[in-house]
């Protein structure tokens, strides 16, 4: 019976790793390897769709893990798509316009009451992916509590008609920047006319509360600083207000927050890998163990090993939307393959746990499990598509990153990363610091996509490294204002880039300047909700009630 159970869970691992991901929103730092992964997933999805595979395995819950457009469309009729005309360039109205999409929840709106309007910034993905927040998440919760109107506003360039250009060439991406996106939101708030609502609900006529998570969280904070006359209050969740080039702390949060046994396995495996890769006599055999002998570059190999870690961010308190890949990966590492089950309880590296590899090195059995996991999940997916591992996981063929068509939807966010945000995932800069990714993941490796994917255009050139000065000039860790709330997660890998960073000064949590940390929270845990708050876990109910309370308090200050 025991055997059957673990075999079954192993199968689950295989079927989840590659089928679930809608990578755009969650892996905010697109390394060149992530784009390969995006491509592999897209290919798998296409081939599964053509086989009309059952949708159980393919439910596109995503990394960031909210129901996909397909799941949402059953609800969409209650939120018909609406459009707002925006100039492509807010500094030069002669360049034409585009049609920015938005969706409205007016269920709780009390005509004549004068609002408020709760607007959620869609950030770096299709606005459709945010509709669950309009239906049962934070927008619904606040609209219900205030008798307000809820809105999801799609971000320029990320989907549908909100894409103002025919392709994602370097030149055509030049209107995708923080300044233009913030100006879109301001223009929208000041001028929108909602369908089927007679009242004039523009700002500053009525109070607007601006909400965003992650990148959009930083935008929510920035909007309060840049447009204080339009933004009555802002809620910045997991807001990455501090832009940085090398974001090695991302993986370090995971190392410290994961099950200590699992962390120890990964640290041990990576240390072993980094040593073995330096030995030209065994290097190829090591790669072969992982099924990656034919992957030419060692840093590409090292970056494939980091892929399972990226799923930490997809955890969620709601099992219906949370990603469990990280935990399954840990489970796979811990599965004894020699001796009896109890050796799993011995410390990593204990002699009873050691296996001898073909070339004589002795390694902990979790190392061998790591290799098997990569081989039987990631590599298998590639070989099943009849591709070579170099096709799937190589990142040195520039041509592979030059397709500018609109279906290359990794391009807009990577462009923003390459121009204004950074956040490149690297190993710790101090080589003696414990790490869960290889030291080969350098800033140069992680950022080379910026030099590969965006050749200089006629009107715009992507700088060799992003210029993060403008973002940080808005306040960085210290950004603050009245009626600007920060909500973060205790074990969010993005926490080091938020005002709850270990590098930021501590602040008081007040009604006027809320500053709240969700215990055991990962990435914007307050953004989704259940139809009935009382069904949510205690720490989520608590944050939702606190958010309702401070917003109601803020609204008392609104002067008509
Ligand atoms: C709403 O009211 C403001 C201020 O009174 C006005 O400037 C604006 O034109 C009105 N907007 C609409 C859509 O009626
Ligand atoms: C891969 O090749 C095999 C044998 O040629 C073929 O049967 C299979 O359909 C191919 N798979 C894909 C995904 O193209
Ligand atoms: C590089 O990528 C392009 C586009 O995907 C492909 O056509 C070409 O064969 C690749 N070159 C090599 C050497 O793999
Ligand atoms: C970076 O941006 C800042 C602020 O936008 C600007 O003043 C500075 O000149 C830029 N630096 C470079 C190297 O372009
Ligand atoms: C909506 O608000 C009412 C009263 O403010 C409250 O009783 C109810 O529980 C709320 N509904 C949800 C789903 O939060």
State pLDDT tens for residues 285-303. 999 999 999 999 999 999 9
**Tokens 């298998």, residue located:** 380
Label the pairing between strands 233-237 and 117-121: unpaired
Report the alpha-carbon angle 225-560-195, nearest 5.
80
- Beta-carbon contacts of 300 under 8 Å, excluding residues fewer than 6 positions away, are 33, 393, 394, 395, 396
To the query of whether residue 425 is one of the catalytic residues in this protein, the response is: no
Q: Which protein residues touch ligand 1 with a CB less than 6 Å away? A: 193, 200, 202, 205
Using CA positions, which residue lies closest to atom 13 of ligand 3? 397
pLDDT for res 51: 59
Whole-number Cα distances in Å, 37 to 176, 382, 419, 444, 465 = 24, 10, 22, 20, 23
* Cα 426 to averaged position of ligand 3 atoms, centre (Å): 26
Using CA positions, which residue lies closest to atom 1 of ligand 2? 386
Best mutation site among 145, 150, 530 for ligand 5 pocket (most ligand atoms within 8 Å of CB): 145
- Nearest ligand for residue 399 CA: 3
Using CA positions, which residue lies closest to atom 4 of ligand 5? 145
Best mutation site among 42, 385, 395, 399 for ligand 3 pocket (most ligand atoms within 8 Å of CB): 399
- Beta-carbon contacts of 51 under 8 Å, excluding residues fewer than 6 positions away, are none
Instruction: Please answer whether residues 405 and 321 qualify as being in contact, where contact means their C-beta atoms are separated by less than 8 angstroms.
Output: no
Write out residues in the chain with pLDDT < 70, as ranges.
1-29, 50-77, 338-339, 560
- Nearest ligand for residue 387 CA: 2
Instruction: Please answer whether residues 184 and 100 qualify as being in contact, where contact means their C-beta atoms are separated by less than 8 angstroms.
Output: yes
Please state at what angle helix 260-276 crosses helix 249-257, rounded to 10 degrees: 130
- Beta-carbon contacts of 378 under 8 Å, excluding residues fewer than 6 positions away, are 17, 18, 304, 307, 393
* Cα 133 to averaged position of ligand 2 atoms, centre (Å): 41
Best mutation site among 108, 144, 531, 541 for ligand 5 pocket (most ligand atoms within 8 Å of CB): 144
Tell me if 145 CB under 6 Å of ligand 5.
yes
- Active-site choice (65, 129, 184, 492): 492
Q: Which atom of ligand 5 is nearest to the CA of 144?
A: 1
Q: Which atom of ligand 1 is nearest to the CA of 193?
A: 13
Tell me if 400 CB under 6 Å of ligand 3.
yes
Here the tokens at position 352 are 């009873």
Here the tokens at position 382 are 């590639």
* Cα 157 to averaged position of ligand 3 atoms, centre (Å): 27
Here the tokens at position 432 are 């003696």
Query: If you ran DSSP here, which 8-state letter would residue 231 be given?
Result: -
> What values do phi and psi take at 325, rounded to 5?
-55, -40
Q: Which atom of ligand 2 is nearest to the CA of 386?
A: 1
Task: Report the alpha-carbon distance of residue 493 to residue 427 in Å, rounded.
Answer: 14
Here the tokens at position 475 are 């306040």
Whole-number Cα distances in Å, 331 to 251, 313, 328, 353, 379 = 19, 17, 5, 16, 19
Q: Which protein residues touch ligand 2 with a CB less than 6 Å away? A: 47, 385-386
Domain ranges for the chain: 81-241+474-556, 245-453
Q: CB 149: neighbour CB atoms within 10 A? A: 26
Here the tokens at position 174 are 């030049």
Q: Domain 81-241+474-556 in CATH: superfamily? A: Alpha/Beta hydrolase fold, catalytic domain (3.40.50.1820)
Instruction: Please answer whether residues 205 and 439 qualify as being in contact, where contact means their C-beta atoms are separated by less than 8 angstroms.
Output: no
Using CA positions, which residue lies closest to atom 1 of ligand 1? 200
pLDDT for res 9: 32
Instruction: Please answer whether residues 116 and 148 qualify as being in contact, where contact means their C-beta atoms are separated by less than 8 angstroms.
Output: yes
Using CA positions, which residue lies closest to atom 14 of ligand 2? 385
* Cα 47 to averaged position of ligand 2 atoms, centre (Å): 11
* Cα 172 to averaged position of ligand 4 atoms, centre (Å): 21
Q: How far is CA 399 from the centre of its chain?
A: 26
Tell me if 399 CB under 6 Å of ligand 3.
yes
* β-pair partners for 87: 97
Instruction: Please answer whether residues 187 and 198 qualify as being in contact, where contact means their C-beta atoms are separated by less than 8 angstroms.
Output: no
Using CA positions, which residue lies closest to atom 6 of ligand 5? 145
Task: Report the alpha-carbon distance of residue 382 to residue 268 in Å, rounded.
Answer: 27
Whole-number Cα distances in Å, 23 to 55, 64, 255, 339 = 18, 8, 22, 39
Here the tokens at position 543 are 């944050």
Using CA positions, which residue lies closest to atom 13 of ligand 1? 193
Best mutation site among 386, 391, 392 for ligand 2 pocket (most ligand atoms within 8 Å of CB): 386
Tell me if 534 CB under 6 Å of ligand 5.
no
Using CA positions, which residue lies closest to atom 10 of ligand 1? 200
pLDDT for res 85: 98
Q: Which atom of ligand 2 is nearest to the CA of 47?
A: 13
* Cα 177 to averaged position of ligand 4 atoms, centre (Å): 14
pLDDT for res 243: 98
Q: Establish how many alpha carbons lie within 13 A of residue 342's alpha carbon, considering only the half-sphere containing its beta carbon.
A: 0
Task: Report the alpha-carbon distance of residue 480 to residue 499 in Å, rounded.
Answer: 9
Task: Report the alpha-carbon distance of residue 77 to residue 74 in Å, rounded.
Answer: 7
Tell me if 397 CB under 6 Å of ligand 3.
yes
pTM higher than the cut 0.85: yes
pLDDT for res 29: 52
Task: Report the alpha-carbon distance of residue 460 to residue 170 in Å, rounded.
Answer: 7
Q: How far is CA 298 from the centre of its chain?
A: 26
- Active-site choice (162, 214, 246, 381): 214
Instruction: Please answer whether residues 239 and 221 qualify as being in contact, where contact means their C-beta atoms are separated by less than 8 angstroms.
Output: yes
Whole-number Cα distances in Å, 177 to 174, 266, 313, 408, 468 = 7, 37, 25, 18, 12
* Widest Cα–Cα separation across the chain: 79
- 195 CB-contact burial (10 Å; exposed 0-12 / middle 13-18 / buried 19+): exposed
Which helix (H) or strand (E) element contains residue 408?
none
* CA dihedral angle for residue 496, residue 498, residue 502, residue 508, rounded to 10 degrees: -160
Q: Note the helical H segments in 282-439.
A: 283-289, 298-305, 325-333, 365-373, 380-384, 389-393, 411-416
């Amino acid at each position: 019976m025991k055997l059957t159970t673990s075999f079954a869970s192993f199968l689950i691992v295989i079927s989840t790793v590659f089928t679930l991901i809608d990578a755009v929103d969650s892996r905010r730092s697109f390394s060149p390897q992530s784009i390969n992964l995006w491509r592999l997933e897209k290919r798998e999805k296409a081939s599964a769709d053509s086989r009309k595979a059952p949708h159980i395995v393919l439910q596109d819950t995503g990394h960031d893990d909210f129901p996909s457009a397909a799941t949402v469309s059953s609800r969409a009729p209650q939120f018909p798509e609406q459009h707002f005309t925006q100039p492509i360039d807010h500094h030069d109205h002669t360049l034409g316009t585009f049609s920015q999409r938005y969706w409205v929840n007016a269920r709780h709106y009390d005509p004549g009451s004068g609002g408020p309007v709760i607007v959620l910034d869609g950030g770096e993905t299709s606005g459709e992916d945010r509709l669950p927040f309009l239906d049962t998440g934070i927008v619904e919760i606040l609209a219900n509590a205030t008798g307000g109107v809820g809105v999801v506003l799609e971000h320029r360039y990320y989907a549908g008609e909100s894409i103002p250009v025919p392709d994602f060439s370097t030149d055509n991406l030049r209107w995708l920047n923080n300044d233009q996106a913030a100006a879109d939101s301001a223009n929208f708030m000041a001028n929108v006319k909602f369908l089927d609502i007679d009242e004039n609900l523009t700002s500053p006529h009525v109070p607007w509360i601006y909400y965003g998570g992650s990148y959009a969280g930083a935008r929510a904070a920035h909007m309060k600083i840049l447009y204080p006359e339009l933004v009555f209050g802002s809620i910045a969740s997991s807001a990455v207000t501090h832009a940085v080039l090398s974001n090695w702390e991302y993986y370090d949060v995971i190392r410290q927050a994961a099950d200590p046994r699992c962390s120890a396995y990964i640290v041990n495996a990576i240390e072993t890998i980094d040593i073995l890769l330096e030995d030209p006599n065994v290097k190829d055999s090591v790669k072969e163990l992982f099924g990656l002998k034919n992957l030419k570059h060692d840093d590409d190999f090292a970056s494939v090993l980091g892929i399972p870690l990226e799923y930490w961010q997809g955890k969620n308190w709601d099992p219906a939307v949370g990603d469990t890949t990280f935990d399954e990966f840990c489970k796979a590492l811990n599965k004894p393959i020699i001796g009896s089950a109890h050796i799993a309880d011995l410390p990593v590296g204990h002699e009873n746990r050691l296996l001898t590899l073909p070339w004589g090195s002795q390694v902990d059995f979790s190392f061998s499990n790591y290799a098997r996991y990569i081989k039987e999940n990631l590599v298998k997916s590639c070989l099943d598509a009849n591709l070579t591992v170099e096709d799937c996981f190589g990142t040195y063929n520039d041509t592979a990153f030059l397709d500018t068509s609109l279906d290359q939807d990794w391009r807009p966010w990577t462009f923003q990363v390459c121009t204004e945000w950074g956040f490149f995932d690297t190993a710790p800069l101090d080589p003696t610091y414990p790490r869960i990714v290889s030291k080969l993941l350098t800033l140069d490796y992680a950022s080379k996509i910026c030099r590969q994917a965006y050749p200089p255009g006629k009107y715009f050139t992507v700088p060799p490294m992003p210029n993060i000065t403008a973002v940080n000039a808005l306040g960085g860790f210290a950004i603050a204002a009245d009626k600007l709330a920060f909500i973060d997660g205790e074990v969010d890998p993005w926490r080091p880039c938020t005002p709850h960073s270990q590098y930021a000064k501590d602040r008081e949590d007040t009604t006027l300047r809320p500053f709240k940390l969700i215990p055991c929270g990962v990435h914007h845990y307050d953004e989704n909700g259940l139809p009935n708050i009382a069904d949510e876990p205690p720490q989520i109910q608590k944050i939702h009630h606190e958010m309702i309370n401070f917003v109601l308090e803020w609204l008392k200050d609104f002067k008509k």
